[in-house]
Structure 1
Amino acid sequence: MKWEGNRESDNVEDRRSGGGGGFVGGRSIGIGTVVLALIGWGVFGINPLTTIGVLSGGGAPQEQQAPAQRPPANDRQAAFVSTVLASTEDVWAQIFRQGGAQYRDPKLVLYRGATPTACGTGQSAMGPFYCPGDQKVYLDMDFFDTMSRQLGAPGEFARAYVIAHEVGHHVQTLLGATAKVDGMRGRVSQREQNALSVRLELQADCYAGIWAHHSQQAKNWMDQGDIESAVNAAEQIGDDTLQRQQTGTVRPDAFTHGSSAQRVRWFTQGLKTGSVQACDTFRAQSL
């Protein structure tokens, strides 16, 4: 992926030295949620119930902290994240503009270990996640190492896919899909809520594909190997694959993000079409 020399976003907050602000309440949406809670259990030694509790808005109140800093200029990994985020800003601003609307850029927060958010205390074991309450993406970049070493998903474009997926959740918040799914909480069974979560997550995968489609047209910065690494990442973080790795069994009724095949299909759908309308997972009869 030929990303060097492209515009970097100004919307990156660096809390890795211990700074950063936030508050609690609400729900976060991540690339792994419950299944990454299981990874947190297996890889980081964190009880998955603790992680899931935080994801659903649990955790003790946090004090407001000092404003976060910009990443240092010589941090190559932060520069990569900032460049990918800038590309998502450009792509989604154009798509919203074509639809007669204005895109609001999300912030992306870099942190280590744990950080306060509007959705509770974010922890690295959750994997990257998006918080609708403060419209920020949270990323502990140690997760990139986990992707390579634990999940079998190496490559820079695989990392870019993860960022684009979380930005996809921001797009869903702006378009109202997140609020509709959260509005069903407590009104439907847990199994039905899980099914809605799957459709939300698969749509975010499709939106990541839309970003890849349009950013490639604008920058021509990917080759076939980059696409393959993103598809592989989508496959490696499917619910069935992660459940099988962690427990040896697969429980489709407990899926919250979709199977490996579904995640690949919807990312590829967005990649091929570049169309928001083609990513309507909520009306799709078959996922």
Structure 2
Amino acid sequence: MRLNPFNPGSVNVRRGGGGRGGFPGGGGGKIGCGTLVIALIGAVVFGVDPMQTIGMVEGTQTSAPARQVSNESTAEICDDNSYSVESCNALGSLNETWQPLFQQAGISFSQPTLTFLGGGTENTGCGMASSAMGPFYCPADQGIYIDTAFYDQLSRELGAQGDFARYYVMAHEYGHHVQKLTGMADQIRSAQSQQPQAANQLQVRMELQADCYAGVWAGRNRNLIEPGDLEEGLTAASAIGDDTLQRSAGRRVNPESFTHGSSEQRMRWLQIGLRTGDEDQCDTFADLRQ
């Protein structure tokens, strides 16, 4: 995908490593958005104990912890390696794509912060995070967290290669930011607390909607898509389906334990977003309201 170079003034990025220097504040409370699949990916790809991972990101705060001030410029942080350049290019494109849609809808828009993890731990609004957890979005501080080394693991361990596979990961996490800004994330979290028996089902629909939003971004930038991009994205979506991850971990496929959806579901909703370029087609909750 031929994304334009990022404008340093249009992206909000920082380098992680807060666990080594320390931030005030801390987590506590309920498991945040995306924690369960982070634990599963950590177990499959990095050999991390899932319960340890959940403990690291458990909880959300009402306000983000204070952050250390860095003397590095945005350009210096983004230019660290080819993957970080791609991530910043994707972030700039995602901001440029979604902000006008929020303005048209009369909904307040704010950009997420992208934090590059790299060794050590990071104190986030959702608790402690580390590189081993894989990419995630924290709704408490509206931040996307990623160690770009994950992309090598995505390619080697899960067979998802190519720049569009990596863009899909970023666009999916950005989809959670869209859900936070529209109020959907808070609504689902409330519903999960009131209907714990439906918590996993609601989580799956949240994740599938984020997949669809990732497709919407790509669909609205169709002129930048190159041959093979769609296949790369679908391969990535399939590789991180709950059923595929459970099989890879040597476990029995258990749909009741799904938190992100099957490979088929993830590919289907990514395609819906890409084909239509219309966020209104991403209502993964429609049948629950019938």
**TM-score normalised to structure 2 length:** 0.87
Corresponding residue for residue 46 of structure 1 = 48
Counterpart residue type for residue 13 of structure 1: R
Deviates more, 1:43-52 or 1:87-96: 43-52
* Conserved 8 A contact 2:214-2:273: yes
Decide whether aligned partners of structure 1 residues 63 and 210 sit closer, same or farther in structure 2, where only a CA change above 3 A counts.
closer
Which consecutive unaligned segments of at least 5 residues does structure 1 have?
A: none
Q: Secondary structure at the match of 1:29?
A: coil
Decide whether aligned partners of structure 1 residues 74 and 49 sit closer, same or farther in structure 2, where only a CA change above 3 A counts.
closer
Counterpart residue type for residue 274 of structure 1: G
Equivalents in 1 of 2:176, 2:89: separation in Å? 19
Equivalents in 1 of 2:23, 2:144: separation in Å? 13
Corresponding residue for residue 3 of structure 1 = 3
* Conserved 8 A contact 1:39-1:246: no
How many aligned residue pairs are there? 277
Counterpart residue type for residue 109 of structure 2: Y
* Conserved 8 A contact 1:28-1:129: no
Provide, for residues 147-192 of structure 1, a one-character-per-residue CA deviation record: whole Å limited to 9, x for no partner. Answer: 00111111111100100100100000011111011112332234x1
Provide, for residues 227-269 of structure 1, a one-character-per-residue CA deviation record: whole Å limited to 9, x for no partner. Answer: 1101110011000000111033100000000000000011111
Superposed displacement of residue 199, structure 1: 0.5
What are the residue-to-residue correspondences of 1:178-217 with 2, within 5 Å? 178-190=185-197, 192-216=198-222
Equivalents in 1 of 2:220, 2:251: separation in Å? 38
Equivalents in 2 of 1:267, 1:284: separation in Å? 18
* Conserved 8 A contact 2:44-2:249: yes
Corresponding residue for residue 138 of structure 1 = 145
Counterpart residue type for residue 46 of structure 1: V
**TM-score normalised to structure 1 length:** 0.88
Decide whether aligned partners of structure 1 residues 162 and 22 sit closer, same or farther in structure 2, where only a CA change above 3 A counts.
farther
* Conserved 8 A contact 1:36-1:125: no
Equivalents in 2 of 1:20, 1:212: separation in Å? 37
* Conserved 8 A contact 2:41-2:134: no
* Conserved 8 A contact 1:22-1:117: no
Give the structure with the larger helix fraction: 2
Aligned-residue sequence identity (percent) comes to: 44
Equivalents in 1 of 2:45, 2:202: separation in Å? 28
Equivalents in 1 of 2:65, 2:216: separation in Å? 38
The counterpart of 1:238, out of the listed 238, 241, 247, is 241
Superposed displacement of residue 4, structure 1: 5.3
* Conserved 8 A contact 1:37-1:125: no
The counterpart of 1:56, out of the listed 51, 55, 58, is 58
* Conserved 8 A contact 1:106-1:170: yes
Decide whether aligned partners of structure 1 residues 122 and 132 sit closer, same or farther in structure 2, where only a CA change above 3 A counts.
same
Decide whether aligned partners of structure 1 residues 167 and 72 sit closer, same or farther in structure 2, where only a CA change above 3 A counts.
closer
Q: Secondary structure at the match of 1:104?
A: coil
Q: Secondary structure at the match of 1:186?
A: helix
Q: Secondary structure at the match of 1:224?
A: coil
1:253 aligns with 2:256: yes
Decide whether aligned partners of structure 1 residues 95 and 63 sit closer, same or farther in structure 2, where only a CA change above 3 A counts.
closer
Which consecutive unaligned segments of at least 5 residues does structure 2 have?
A: none
Superposed displacement of residue 52, structure 1: 1.8
Equivalents in 2 of 1:266, 1:23: separation in Å? 37
Equivalents in 2 of 1:177, 1:188: separation in Å? 16
Kindly report the root-mean-square deviation, in angstroms, between the aligned alpha carbons of the 2 structures: 2.5
Corresponding residue for residue 176 of structure 1 = 183
Equivalents in 1 of 2:286, 2:65: separation in Å? 42
Equivalents in 1 of 2:40, 2:78: separation in Å? 33
* Conserved 8 A contact 2:192-2:202: no
Q: Secondary structure at the match of 2:161?
A: coil
Q: Secondary structure at the match of 1:150?
A: helix
* Conserved 8 A contact 2:38-2:135: no
* Conserved 8 A contact 1:39-1:125: no
Corresponding residue for residue 95 of structure 1 = 101
1:150 aligns with 2:151: no
